[in-house]
Amino acid sequence: MRCAMGMENLPASSNLMILNSSFDGKLNIDNNPVENSIRPVAIGRRNYLFAGSHEAAQRSAMLYPLPGTCKLNGVNPFIWLRDVLQRIPIHPINKIEQLLPHNWKPLL
């Protein structure tokens, strides 16, 4: 039996998922949001190749997730970084986790 929409080479379970997504308006068959969310990771991975040294690439890889964490927690990455860089010299080392994006509170 031939399936509609050129699905004859797909397994039966794939055919069922495609048909379900075409009848249910709540199911999104577009994966652009996922691709957009992983794009910075792919770009970062490529940039690490040109960091100059292995150590520099490791440092970049450690810092790279911080702006993404800020965005996930609704924090402006630029304001967070500026504030943290100003606070680091006087902040107690045993409370350094307070400066992480998910715990950070701006000084008033």
pTM here is 0.55
DSSP code for 70: H
The whole-number mean pLDDT for each consecutive block of 10 residues of the chain, a chain of 108 residues, reads 53 62 67 78 75 84 85 93 94 94 87
